[in-house]
């Protein structure tokens, strides 16, 4: 990165973007172990496209099942090793808290994005977030980041100005619009 160049990022939600969600009781949920965790086909190639275009790629994911005692930290770390090796983001950030903790890092609050920007010198106004839920869209708005929603049956009611079919379409949009 040369002098005066803007450092841009693409923040990627994990569940529903880089790996399929698990449906529990008719609602989308996070995998609770490696046996439920798989990567979305082509995710590694899409992350590589973003990195080749000069974006810093950071995963930002809420993982409240840690606080709820439903997901051991070691199991989360194992899933993130698979994600890191298979997809290759520059960083994986996660919030282990539940809503009642009122932390700054749990989406829809923008803490994971703003902290990454502060630490890495990222211009949030030149950055994007790709997610699959309203918390992702709200975190992007709160941080001043452009948002893209990956459409799914479970998020039809989520208001988003940019809605795409999958990660590849999201990356196409980001690369077209800069």
Round the average pLDDT of the chain to a whole number and report it.
96
Domain positions in the chain: 9-177
Q: What is the pTM of this model?
A: 0.96
The residue whose two tokens read 């077209």 is 176
Give the model confidence (pLDDT) of 22-42 as tens digits. Answer: 999 999 999 999 999 999 999
Write the CATH number of the domain with boundaries 9-177: 3.40.50.1000
Q: What is the pLDDT of residue 4?
A: 59
Which pLDDT belongs to residue 8?
97
> Residue 77: is its pLDDT beyond 60?
yes
CA distances from 128 to 32, 34, 136, 175 (A): 27, 28, 11, 11
Residue keyed to tokens 């590849």: 168
pLDDT tens string 141-169: 999 999 999 999 999 999 999 999 999 99
Q: Which residues contact 172 (CB under 8 A, 6 or more apart)?
A: none
How many Å apart are CA 31 and CA 37, to the nearest integer?
6
What is the token pair recorded at 119? 């630490």
Q: How far is CA 47 from CA 9, 65, 77, 162, in A?
A: 11, 26, 20, 19
pLDDT tens-digit profile of 90-118? Answer: 999 999 999 899 999 999 999 999 999 99
The per-residue pLDDT for 178 is: 86
3-state secondary structure the chain: CCCCCCCCEEEECCECCCECCEEECCEEECCCCHHHCCCCCCHHHHHHHHHHCCCEEEEEEECCCCCCCCCCHHHHHHHHHHHHHHHCCCEEEEECCCHHHCCCCCCCCCHHHHHHHHHHCCCHHHCEEEECCHHHHHHHHHHCCEEEEECCHHHCCCCCCCEECCHHHHHHHHHHHC
In the set 13, 65, 132, 136, the catalytic residue is 13
% residues pLDDT > 70 (the chain): 98
Q: What is the pLDDT of residue 74?
A: 96
Q: Is 13 a catalytic residue?
A: yes
- Whether 132 is a known active-site residue: answer no
């Amino acid at each position: 990165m040369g002098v005066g160049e803007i450092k841009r990022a693409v923040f990627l939600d994990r569940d529903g973007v880089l790996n399929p969600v698990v449906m529990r009781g008719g609602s989308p949920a996070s995998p609770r172990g490696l046996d439920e965790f798989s990567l979305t086909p082509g995710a590694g190639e899409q992350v590589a496209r973003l990195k080749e275009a000069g974006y810093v790629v950071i995963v930002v994911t809420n993982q409240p099942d840690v606080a709820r005692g439903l997901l051991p930290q070691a199991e989360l770390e194992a899933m993130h090793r698979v994600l890191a090796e298979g997809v290759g983001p520059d960083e994986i950030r996660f919030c282990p808290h539940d809503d009642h903790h009122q932390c700054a890092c749990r989406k829809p609050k923008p803490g994971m994005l703003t902290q990454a920007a502060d630490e890495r010198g990222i211009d949030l106004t030149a950055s994007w977030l790709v997610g699959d839920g309203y918390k992702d869209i709200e975190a992007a708005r709160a941080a001043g980041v452009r948002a893209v929603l990956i459409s799914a049956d479970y998020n039809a009611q989520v208001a988003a100005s940019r809605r795409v079919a999958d990660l590849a379409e999201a990356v196409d949009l980001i690369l077209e619009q800069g």
